[in-house]
Amino acid sequence: MPASLTYPGVYVEEIPSGVHTITGVSTSITAFVGRTARGPVNTPTTVTSVADYERNFGPLDLNYPLGFSVRDFYLNGGTIAIIVRVFKPQGTTSDIAEISLTGGLTLVASSSGAWGKQLRARAKNSTAGDDVAATLGPGVVGTDLFNLTLRDGTTGATETFINVTAVPSARNVTGILASQSMLARTKGTVAKPTPEHPDAIPTGNHTLWDNDTTSSGAPATPVIKDSATFSVAGDFGDLGTKTGFYALAHADLFNLLVIPLDELNDNAKAATLNASAAAYCSARRALYLVDSPTSWASVAAATAPTTGGPAALGIAGSDARNAALYFPRVKKSNPLRGDLIEEFPPSGMVAGIMARTDVTRGVWKAPAGVDAALVGAQGLSVTMNDDENGQLNPLGINCLRTFPIYGNIVWGARTLRGADALGDEYKYVPVRRTALFIEESLYRGLKWVVFEPNDEPLWGQIRLNAGAFMQGLFRQGAFQGTSARDAYFVACDKSTTTQNDINLGIVNVVVGFAPLKPAEFVVLKIQQLAGQIQT
C-alpha cells in the first residue's frame, strides 16, 4: 500500500513478484598450485589462455612442471584457470631484485625470482610543460615530470610510462607502477631520478638496452635466486598463513584442483599433501584431481598391498568423495628437449576434458568414454588390457586406456570412494560433481533469504525459486525420471522448519534429486532362436 492516501484518485503500486532467479555457477574453473619462474606469490590469479599464463608466470620451463599442466588443460578444452604461485626462499638476503636510479628512485621487481636480474630501467626528463603538469594536481610543475621505461631482458617486454612524478599527483610513479606495471614497483621514499643516460644509441651493433650507459639494471650482488625445490608437503600450502593452495581462500570460486607433485618424489610426503588438499576441496565444494605416484610403473605396483591402491594416497573417509585418481601417466613430446617423448602427470589433461564435457554435455555427463580423448598424449606409461583394467576399476582407480581408432582416452569415472566394497552414494565423479554444482548454486542463490521474516510467505518463495532452478536442470536432462515428480523435490514448510527452529532463526530447505549414473557396464545378451518344427 502507498505510504499515505491523501487525495481522492487512483494510486499505482508495484508489487514484488517474489522471484529471485538462481543462476547455476561455473563447473570447471580449475586451480593450479605450484612453482613458477615469476608472478605474484600466494595470490590467486585468473588466466584464460596459455598466452595469458606465460605473460604472468613465464614460459614453459623444465624446472616448473606446473606450466606443462596448464598447457595440457587448455589443449584439452579448459577455459578458466586460477594460478597460485608458491615460492620457497633459498636463504638469500632477498629474493626480489632492486634497481637504483641516480637521484633517489629505487625500483624492485614485481615478484620474486631470478628473472628480476634481467630487468632494466631508463629515466629521462619529460618535454611536457607547466600547462600539462597543472592538470595532474595543484603545485605540480613541468620540471617534476619524467618518463620511465622498463624492459624485461628475458622476454623483451617493454613498458613506458609518460609524464610520471615523484610528488603527490594523478601520475605519481608509485601508484602508476602499482596499477599498470607487470614488471616493477617503487621502494621506499621516491624522488625524481636524474636523467644521466643519453638519448643516443651507442655506436656499433647495439640497441638502447645493450649498453650500461643508457639504462640501469640490478647489481650483481646480492644474488637473487629462484624458488627452492619443494621437499615437504607443507611447501605447497600452510593454513595459518594462507599460502599455497590455502591462498585459494581469496578466490571466489574454483571447481577443480590440480597440484603437480613430481618434485616431492616421495609417496609418504605426497600422501600428507593429498590428505590436506582433499580436505580443503571438501570444504570448498571442489574436486581434487590426484595424480598416481611415479612409482606406480605397472598394474601390479598400483595394486600392491602396502604401496598401491587408493589407501596409499593418504585420502580416506568422506573427503575421498571429493577426489578422483587417474592412472597411468601420459607420454607426450617435450618441446624444451627437442620433442623428446617423456612422461607427464595426467591431471591437467583430465581437468581440460571435464571442462570440455561440461560445455558439450553438462556436468552430469561422466568425463570419460570414447569422446574423452587425451589431446596431446602420444601414449601411456602403462598399457593395460581389459583384465588389468578390471583389477583397478573396483578399487576406484580411473584408468587411461588406448584403443584402436579412438586413441588415448579416459576410461573411468569414479571418485576415491568408488571402490565396490564401500558402496558409497557418491561412487561416481559425475554424481558428485552434480551434487557440488547444485549445492554451490543454491548456496549463492538463496543468500537473499537471510534476515527475511521466517514464515510461510518466505517458505513459498524459497520453494518457488529453488524449484524453478531444479526444473531448469531437469529440462536439460540432468536427472532421472520422466516427470519432475520422479526427478527432484524441494521441501520448505512446517515439516522441515519447526517452531523451535523459527525461534532459533533457522529455516530448513531440503532439496532432493535423482542423479544420472553412468552406464559403466554394457551387457549384451544374445540368444539363438530355434526354428519351429512343423507337426
Tens-place pLDDT, residues 70-102: 999 999 999 999 999 999 888 766 789 998 888
CA dist., res. 509 & res. 44, Å (int) = 33
Average pLDDT (127-156) is 89
**98-101 β-sheet, strand order:** 98-101, 105-109, 184-187
User: Looking at residues 51-61, what average pLDDT do you find?
Assistant: 93
- Structural domains in the chain plus CATH codes: 1-22+454-535 (no CATH), 30-88+229-431 (3.40.50.11780), 98-217 (no CATH)
Instruction: Provide the mean pLDDT of the chain.
Output: 90
What is d(CA 83, CA 32) in angstroms, rounded to the nearest whole number? 5
Once rounded to an integer, what is the mean pLDDT over residues 217-226? Answer: 84
Q: Quick: pLDDT tens for 505-516.
A: 999 999 999 999
**What pLDDT was estimated at residue 351?**
97
Query: What is the spatial distance between Cα 237 and Cα 245, in angstroms, rounded to a whole number?
Result: 5
Take residue 21 and report the three cell numbers written for it.
Answer: 532467479
Q: Please check the confidence at residue 437 and state whether its pLDDT lies above 90.
A: yes
State pLDDT tens for residues 18-54: 889 999 999 999 999 999 999 999 999 999 999 999 9
Taking the whole predicted model, whether its pTM rises above 0.85 is answered as yes
Q: What is the pLDDT of residue 198?
A: 59
Closest to 24 (Cα-Cα) out of 262, 347, 363 = 363
Give the model's confidence band at 222: pLDDT under 50 very low, under 70 low, under 90 confident, else very high.
Answer: confident
Amino acid 400: pLDDT: 96
In angstroms, the Cα distances linking 61 to 37, 64, 440 are 8, 5, 36
In this model, does residue 498 exceed pLDDT 80?
A: yes
Q: Report the candidate in 191, 128, 134, 130 with the shortest Cα–Cα distance to residue 165.
A: 191
pLDDT at res. 4:
83
- Whether residue 197 has pLDDT greater than 70: no
- Mean pLDDT score, 313-333: 94
- Reported as a single tens digit per residue, the pLDDT across 248-273 is 999 999 999 999 888 777 788 888 99
The mean pLDDT value for 217-245 works out to 87
- Average pLDDT rounded to a whole number, residues 191-201: 71
Do residues 177 and 190 make contact, with C-beta atoms less than 8 angstroms apart? Answer: no
pLDDT band of residue 206 (cuts 50, 70, 90) is low
Task: Please tell me the predicted confidence (pLDDT) of residue 211.
Answer: 61
The helix (H) or strand (E) run that includes residue 323 is strand 323-327
The residues, ordered by sequence, that sit 6+ positions from 511 with a Cβ below 8 Å of its Cβ are 438, 442, 466, 470, 488, 489, 490, 491
For residue 185, how many other CB atoms are within 10 A of its CB?
Answer: 16
- The per-residue pLDDT for 207 is 67
- Which of 138, 41, 22, 122 lies closest to 83, judged by CA? 41
Res. 523 pLDDT band, cuts 50 70 90? confident
Residue with cell 615523484: 166
Confidence grade of residue 535 (pLDDT, cut at 50, 70, 90): low
**268 closest CA partner among 306, 226, 216:** 306
**Is residue 179 scored above 60 in pLDDT?**
yes
What pLDDT is recorded for position 1?
A: 56
Q: Is the pLDDT of residue 161 over 90?
A: yes
CB 424 within 8 A of CB 417: yes
Please tell me the predicted confidence (pLDDT) of residue 470: 96
- With beta carbons less than 8 A apart as the criterion, state whether 99 and 120 touch: yes
